[in-house]
Amino acid sequence: MKILVANLGSTSLKWRLFDFSNGAETLLHKGGFERVADYPKAIEDCLAALKDAGAIANESDLAAVGFKTVIAKGVTGCVRIDDRVLAAMEAFNGLAPAHNPPYLTGIRLFVRRVPGVPLVALFETAFYQFAPEPMMRYAVPPAWHDIGVRRWGFHGASHKFIAERSAQLLGRDDVARRAQSLYLDAGKSPVSAPDLRVISCHLGGSSSITGIRNGVAIGTSMGMSPQSGLPQNNRVGDLDAEALPYAVKTLGLTVAEAQRQLTQESGLKGLSGVSNDIRDITTAAEQGNAQARRALDVFVASARHWIGSYFFGMGGADAIVFTAGIGENRAEIRAAICANLDQLGIILDAEKNAATRSQEAVISAADSRVKVMVIPTNEELVVARETKRLLEAR
């Protein structure tokens, strides 16, 4: 069974083709185009690249195309795309202006180009649909809640990958199975005691931290939009609701300009004044740039804040997992986040931590009660797996 996963940006198309034959999960092909001006041509070129590489003979070899869609009104989980799903995505364009419109455009082009191939959406919000309501609700009037002003959560594919893989690595196949079956049986498949409590830290260009109990998310740092939680590369993260009207009035900005500054001139970029990339910021900090140092410190403090939140929310943790660009590659950030937590049973092995880049590893000390791990994430594989599960369940 060959499943194409298409990642649609406003000016980019990236893809991976997976083959699930004979119980294996094989990445057959990956590629992409940046600065796409002609999207129909980009899709054509993608299909041509798959054929040239011998990965498919023709379009009918594709069992499905899966998309890592973000958010839709009244629809989540992993679903077959039809007009109802597209309309639900369109209804929430305002909540995800950078993501939903390009996905709608791209998906409609795929509908036309490969009409016989099932198209499947795995929403980034899906992983949070079973989180307890108090963790997902803002204290707003009901009318606000009813139009979608609530926590939704994002990075769901990545955190779900961590939920499954961490459970496997921790010897809890029962929990891994529950996480795998989440969207088909609503997380009802049985697990044995004791609870497995994992705190998943996706730290990258954008970052979020999720508490996961027995394979099911209990809450996450990103709220109504991906504009919240930890400081992001150039987006602000959490911000007091009064800050926007105050800055608009005091600095004489339009709301649109204030939003632009909060989404493009803030986060690590705004704080450091150097770059939105941790590599450049770290270099500057090492050369004595105080703003760059502060950007790193704010990022670390925010990560600790959210880890602490889920540590309390779950009554402790069995594992803390680091993933994504920063989590997988930046030992000094991991060390700063885990510093001085021995009272909570969190102790890093400095050498193992320093030696770990982009590979699965336990980086905590032998006497650390909480295991600290690095697990490279694989969001596209999650989309492909869920797409396969959906097709097989039908």
With beta carbons less than 8 A apart as the criterion, state whether 17 and 4 touch.
yes
Q: At its nearest, how many Å lie between ligand ADP and the CB of residue 331?
A: 10
Q: Is 325 in the site for ligand ADP (CB under 6 A)?
A: yes
Q: Are 393 and 184 in contact (CB under 8 A)?
A: yes
Do 274 and 233 touch, CB atoms closer than 8 A?
no
> Residue 337, interface with ligand ADP (CB under 6 A)?
no
CB of 153 vs ligand ADP, minimal distance in Å: 16
Q: In the complex with ligand ADP, which residue's Cβ is closer, 324 or 374?
A: 324
**What single DSSP character describes residue 120?**
E
What contacts 205, CB < 8 A, 6 or more positions away? 232, 233, 276, 324, 325
Min CB(214)–ligand ADP separation in Å: 27
- CB of 301 or CB of 393, closer to ligand ADP: 301
Q: How far is the CB of 334 from ligand ADP (least distance, A)?
A: 12
Could you tell me which of 358, 345, 346 has the C-alpha nearest to residue 336? Answer: 346
The count of residues interacting with ligand ADP (CB under 6 A) is 11
Site track for ligand ADP across 202-221, x = CB under 6 A? --xxx---------------
Residue 27 tokens read as: 């990445």
CA 349 to each of CA 82, 169, 353, 361: distance values in angstroms, whole numbers, following the listed order: 50, 18, 6, 11
Q: Which residues of 141-174 are buried (b: 16+ CB within 10 A; e: fewer)?
A: eeeeeeebbbbbbbbbbbbbbbbbbbbebbebeb
Taking the complex as a whole, the smallest distance from the CB of residue 205 to ligand ADP amounts, in Å, to 3
Number of residue whose CB is nearest ligand ADP: 325
Residue 330 makes contact with ligand ADP by CB under 6 A: yes
- Site for ligand ADP contains 279 (CB under 6 A): yes
- CA dist 181 and 15 (Å) reads 25
329 is a contact residue toward ligand ADP (CB under 6 A): yes
- Which of the stretches 128-136, 284-292, 325-333, 345-353 binds ligand ADP when contact is defined by CB under 6 A? 325-333
> What residue type is 218 in one-letter code?
I
Is 32 near ligand ADP (CB under 6 A)?
Answer: no
Identify the residue among 326, 331, 337, 381 touching ligand ADP (CB under 6 A).
326
Shortest spacing between CB 63 and ligand ADP, in angstroms? 27
Among 208, 73, 80, CA closest to 148:
73
Interaction site with ligand ADP (CB under 6 A):
204-206, 277-279, 324-326, 329-330
